[in-house]
A and B are shown apart, each in its own frame.
Chain A
Amino acid sequence: MKTKLKGILAVTAIALSGSGAAIAQESVKIGVVTPISGTYAPIGQQVRWGLELATKQVNEAGGIAGRQIELIFEDSEANPSVAVQRAERLFEVEDVDFLTGTVNSGATLAVGQLAERVGKLMATTVSFADSITAGQCSPNVFRVNARAGQQSAALAAWVVEQKPNAKVFYLGPDYEMGRSTVAAFKEKMTEFGAEDVGELFAPLDSQDYTQYFGQIRAAQPDVLYTSVAGNDTVRFLTQMQEFGLLGDMLVVGASGTITSQNITAIGDAANGFGTGVGYSTRIDTPENNEFVEQFRAAYDADPDLYGTDSYGVIHFYKAAAEKAGSLEPDAVREAMRDLTWMTPQGEKLMRGGDHQAQQPMYVVQINGGSFDIVGKVDGETALGADLCERF
Chain B
Amino acid sequence: MDSVLFYIQFVLAPQMVTGLALGVAVVLVALGLTIIFGLLDVINMAHGEFYAVGAYLAVALGLAGINFWVLLLLIPLIMAPIGYAVERGLIQRVFNTGEDRHVTTLLLTFGLAMVIEEFILIVFGVETMRPASPIPGAVEIFGLFLPNYRLFLIGFGLLVVAGVAVAVYRTRFGSMVRAAAFDRNMAASLGVPVSRVYALTFALGVALAGLAGVLLAPIYSVFPTMGRDFIFIAFTVVIAGGMGSIAGAVVAGLLLTQVQAVSSLFISPVWSQPIVFGIMVLVLVLRPQGLFGRLGHA
B-binding residues in A (CB < 8 A): 42, 174, 200-203, 205-208, 210-215, 217-218, 230-231, 234-235, 238-239, 242-244, 261-262, 264-267
Contacts and interface: CB of A to CB of B under 8 A. Distances in A.
Q: Is chain B's interface secondary structure helix, strand, loop, or mixed overall?
A: helix
Given A174-B270, A203-B270, A212-B264, A264 B220 contact: no
- Top 5 A-B pairs ranked by shortest CB distance? A210-B18, A214-B15, A265-B128, A265-B130, A242-B147
B231 to A, nearest CB: 11
A235 to B, nearest CB: 6
Nearest to B130: A265
B268 A201 contact: yes
Contacts of A214: 11-12, 14-15, 261, 264-265
12 contacts: A201-B268, A202-B270, A207-B22, A207-B229, A211-B272, A212-B264, A213-B15, A214-B264, A217-B14, A218-B7, A261-B126, A267-B130
Contact of A215 (B126, B132, B228, B265): B265
Contacts of B265: 214-215
B273 interface: yes
Contacts of B138: 242-244
Contacts of B18: 208, 210-211, 213, 243
A205 B15 contact: no
Contacts of A205: 225, 228-229
Interface in B14-29: 14-15, 18-19, 21-22, 25
B260 A218 contact: no
Q: Is chain A's interface secondary structure helix, strand, loop, or mixed overall?
A: helix
Interface string B116-143: 0000000000111110110000100000
A221 B134 CA distance: 30
A203 B272 CA distance: 10
Contacts of A218: 7, 10-11
Contacts of B182: none
B104 interface: no
B129 A264 contact: yes
A201 B270 contact: yes
A234 B221 contact: yes
Interface in B251-266: 260-261, 264-265
Contact of A212 (B129, B221, B269): B269
B223 interface: yes
A210 B21 contact: yes
Contacts of A234: 128, 130, 221
Nearest to A205: B229
Interface string B226-239: 10111000000000
A203 B269 contact: yes
Contacts of B129: 264-265
B149 interface: yes
A235 B270 contact: no
A231 B223 contact: yes
B221 A238 contact: yes
Nearest to A42: B126
Among B18, B147, B260, find the residue whose CB has the most chain A CB atoms closer than 10 A: B18
Nearest to A208: B22
Contact of B15 (A211, A244, A261): A211
Contacts of A235: 220-221
Given A207-B220, A238-B130, 17 more contacts: A42-B126, A202-B269, A207-B22, A210-B19, A210-B21, A211-B22, A211-B260, A211-B264, A213-B15, A217-B10, A217-B11, A230-B128, A231-B221, A238-B221, A239-B219, A242-B149, A265-B130
